[in-house]
Structure formats: structure tokens, C-alpha cells
Amino acid sequence: MDKLIISACICGAEVTKEQNPAVPYTVEEIVREAKSAYDAGAALIHLHVRWDDGTPTQDTARFQECIDAIRKECPDAIIQPSTGGAVGMTDLERLASTDVVPTPEMATLDCGTCNFGGSEIFVNSNDTIINFAKIMKERGIKPELEVFDKGMIDLALKTADKKGLLVHPLHWDFVLGVQMNATVRDLVYMVESIPAGSTWTATGLGKNAWHIAAATISMGGHVRVGFEDNLYLEKGVLAKSNGEMVEKAVKLAKLLGREVATPAEAREILGLAPLK
Ligand code: KMH
Ligand code: ZN
């Protein structure tokens, strides 16, 4: 089994300080959370950014400021901007997070439309998937294929992959518990549905975080934890930082006998070029 890559989704676009006061908005807070996750063992930071009042933004300059500041504290972390942004943003707006310098090694690529709760719909048409894949391929950005149910795996393969826009081996992120359930059976179904040779990360929303993490560690996948997906360390106990959640994932890995990957090892596992 490969070593375990721990990704930290430190901020997201939806969670608020009202739900957990440690949710970061300002550049300083985002750096604090990225550093806490990195110091605890995260190799990869999945990044959304906010304006100081908490409003999600895909503004290139804000991403640049956050990435530059994170880079000072987490020199070798893989920093993966979101191109999902927030519900309601245009495709152009969403892609602006990748216009930073240097070009990101990775970015998310969402592979289908999804009910996001209440009346919110996260829209990713076939053309969006194809266009994002094309742009990422042209720019040498490795996509993390975000899939919220099994149909999105099929859709990614039938759209972008069929057009030769995805470079193999692919890397997937199974976001369970938004639309699809987050049981081990669901997770196994997802893993069995991706092309051979793919790497994969899984995350469970809210209370689903920890059993999905334990199953993923046991199955040889990689784990994503953080405020974007879950605000609680355990039932009724809010996490004080993203670092606390990464620490828990590291503890689980130790208990289950899986070593944790450094950022350099994570780059090797994901087929990314070593950091210069
Ligand atoms: N905030 C969601 C609408 C991604 O980062 O690519 C989209 C999202 C997925 O979080
Ligand atoms: Zn995200």
C-alpha cells in the first residue's frame, strides 16, 4: 500500500464562524489553519479563500496573497486551489483561482451537477467539465476529479476522458454524504468504478468523516479532512483547528499501520514533478 496522503480542506466556501469560530476568513487566519494542518501531517492543502467578512471569492489576487503567505509557512505543501468555488459562481469566475503564479500543480475539477442542500444546486454541465479539463491539460495542472456520486465518475469518463483531455493515471476525490450516502458500501462501489491505476482520496461530510477516513486508510486510499467537510472532532466537540483533525487522521493511520506521506512522497504517488 502507498503511504497515506492527508489533504486538508481548511476553509471551504460554505461553513461559517457562527458554526465554528475557528473557520478562517482573513489571510492570516487561512495561513494559521494551513500551517496547523501541515504541521500535523497534511501534505496537501485544498484551498478556498474568503474576503475578510467571510464571503467566498475566486479572486486571483486574493488567492495569490493566500498562496504566497501559506508558502512561507508550509514551503513544500501541495497547494490545490478549488475551481468549484461557491454555488452560483460562473465558470470564468471559478477558474480565476488557477491564474496565480506559479501555475498550481493541481486544482479540483468537479464532474457533475449536485444538490447542495436547501435550494442550492452546484452546476457543472458537460461543457463545463470538458472546458475545465481542456484548460487544465493545456496548463499542466493535474485535476483532482471531485465526484459526489457514482454517476459523476461515469460522466468524467464519458466527457473529458473520452476527448483525451485527462492525463492518466487519474486522481479522484470521493465526496460522500452530500448527495450519495457515506457508507463503506458506497465507498467500495466508488473505488470499484474508477479506471485501474487511478489514485483516490475520500472524505465524508459531517458525522461521516471518521468512519470514511478509517475505511479509506484500510483500503489504500487517501484521506481528506478539514472544516470544509466537517467541523467536529467527535460528536458534540468542535475542532479547534484543522490541525486537530489532521492529527486525528494521523492517529487513525498509526492505529491501522499505515505510514503518512510527506509532501515529496505525495508528489511521487500523484505523479507530480518534484518541487524545484
Ligand atoms: N463549494 C462547492 C460549491 C471544489 O472545491 O472543487 C464546491 C466545492 C468543490 O467545494
Ligand atoms: Zn472545495
Per residue in 44-76, pLDDT (tens digit) is 999 999 999 999 999 999 999 999 999 999 999
Q: What digits encode the pLDDT tens for the residues 203-245?
A: 999 999 999 999 999 999 999 999 999 999 999 999 999 999 9
- Per the CB < 8 A criterion, the answer to whether 136 and 106 are in contact is no
> How far is 264 from 266, CA to CA, in rounded Å?
5
| The residue type at 216 | T
**Which parts of the chain sit beneath pLDDT 50?**
none
| Residue of 48, 49, 50, 57 best suited for mutating to test ligand 1, as the one with most atoms within 8 Å of CB | 48
Which protein residue has the closest C-alpha to ligand 1 atom 4? 84
108 lines ligand 1 (CB under 6 A): yes
Give the pLDDT of residue 276.
82
Query: How high is the pLDDT of residue 260?
Result: 98
> Looking at residue 166, what is its pLDDT?
98
Of ligand 1's atoms, which has the minimum distance to the CA of residue 110?
6
What is the pLDDT, as a whole number, of residue 237? Answer: 98
Judged by its nearest atom, the ligand closest to the C-alpha of residue 14 is 1
Distance 220 CA to ligand 1 centre (A): 24
| Ligand 1, atom nearest to 14 Cα | 1
Place of cell 463545463: 128
Rounded to 5 degrees, φ, ψ at 120 are -80, 130
- pLDDT for 211: 97
Q: Which of 122, 128, 178, 229 to mutate to test the pocket of ligand 1 (most atoms within 8 A of CB)?
A: 122
Return the CATH number of the domain spanning residue range 6-270: 3.20.20.70
Which atom belonging to ligand 1 lies closest to the Cα atom of 46?
Answer: 5
Given phi > 0 = left and psi -120 to 50 = alpha, else beta, which region is 85?
A: left
Minimum CA distance residue for ligand 1 atom 7: 84
pLDDT for 275 equals 92
Ligand 1 near 33 CB (within 6 A): no
Domain segments of the chain as ranges: 6-270
Give first-to-last CA distance, the chain, whole Å. 27
User: From the CB of 122, is ligand 1 less than 6 Å away?
Assistant: yes
Residue 146 Cβ < 6 Å to ligand 1: yes
Q: Which amino acid is at 137?
A: K
Q: Which of 110, 142, 179 for mutating ligand 1's site (highest number of atoms within 8 Å of CB)?
A: 110
The bound ligand whose nearest atom lies closest to the alpha carbon of 97 is 1
